[in-house]
Amino acid sequence: MSVTPPNYAVPSQAPIVLTAESRIERFLEENFKKIVLALLLVVVLLAGVFTSRHFTAQRNLAAAEKFTSAMGVEDCDVVIQKYPGSTAAGNALLQKADLLWQQGKKTSSIEALQEFLKSLPSHNLRASVAIALGTKQASLGDKDAARATFETFLKSSPQSELAPAADIQLADLLWQEGKDVEAKKHYDSLLQKYPGKMTMFNQALEERQQLMTSGLPQTEVAGPPPAPKPEPPAFQPPQITVPPLLPPGTTAPSTPSTTLTPRVQTPNPTPTPAATKPTPKVKSKP
């Protein structure tokens, strides 16, 4: 007789379900070192950023103080060389260009503006400097350089508020070269080309259009000869207003006051002594 052994079924193990908290704890245990290193790296980066900003602010402050005390071209050169690329260096370049222009060193002034545009691409006065550079070049008769400056500015900053100023001066160059038809078309196209941006330039544009319509010459002509200097007026004695004499307690009548003109006394001519005949000498007899 065979005995069948009992069938002992092994119970299957239920899957372990991890809660959100346990998952976070397990992640921290497995990646603790990496997390600490990442936090240290963030702290180092933040410290570096704050330190860099602090030193940059101190540098800009020192540059601004140095620029404020700059009086001549040499002082501006000190700021430019000691603080290159700073806002104060850009301001010093502009002041240097202005001083050189006033001193008659116009070529050097233009070179200073060109250095500004080359070394300070993000300065907030860049657009104004480009217009000033082209204007100065045109005033010296270098029309090709002026045209290149204005065209470069329009290509790089077509949405600038000063773009109409550059376009107006391009039309001016055409007019100066005798290309009246092209200049007029250029002027007439600006209102449609820059809608909403011509407010500051409407008067300048209208003046040019009126001059072109009137046909007035654009070249300088000699003016009329100066008027002769007037002869100095004869001496007029001052007039003295004398109020009427009134007794105490009475009011002034409606009669006008008396105006007296003092006489100018001229000195009497000094009498010249009459010529006297010399008395003849009488010779005594011996």
**Summary count for the chain: helices (H), strands (E):** 9, 2
**Of the residues 214, 229, 245, which one is the last residue of a structural domain?**
214
* CATH number for the domain that contains residue 192: 1.25.40.10
* CATH number for the domain that contains residue 100: 1.25.40
For the chain, the straight-line distance linking the first and the last C-alpha, in angstroms and rounded, comes to 226
Q: Are residues 103 and 38 in the same domain?
A: yes
Burial of residue 116 (CB within 10 Å: 0-12, 13-18, 19+) is buried
Helices (H), 103-231: 106-119, 126-139, 143-156, 163-176, 180-193, 202-214
In a domain, 25, yes or no: yes
Count how many domains the chain has: 2
Q: Are residues 115 and 129 in the same domain?
A: no
According to the model, what pLDDT value does residue 247 have?
45
Low-confidence ranges of the chain (pLDDT < 50): 54-55, 220-223, 232, 234-250, 252, 255, 257-262, 264-265, 282, 286
Q: Are residues 130 and 200 in the same domain?
A: yes
Please state the pTM of the whole predicted model: 0.55
According to the model, what pLDDT value does residue 279 have?
55
According to the model, what pLDDT value does residue 214 have?
78
In a domain, 230, yes or no: no
Q: Which domain holds residue 137?
A: 125-214
At 132, the amino acid letter reads A
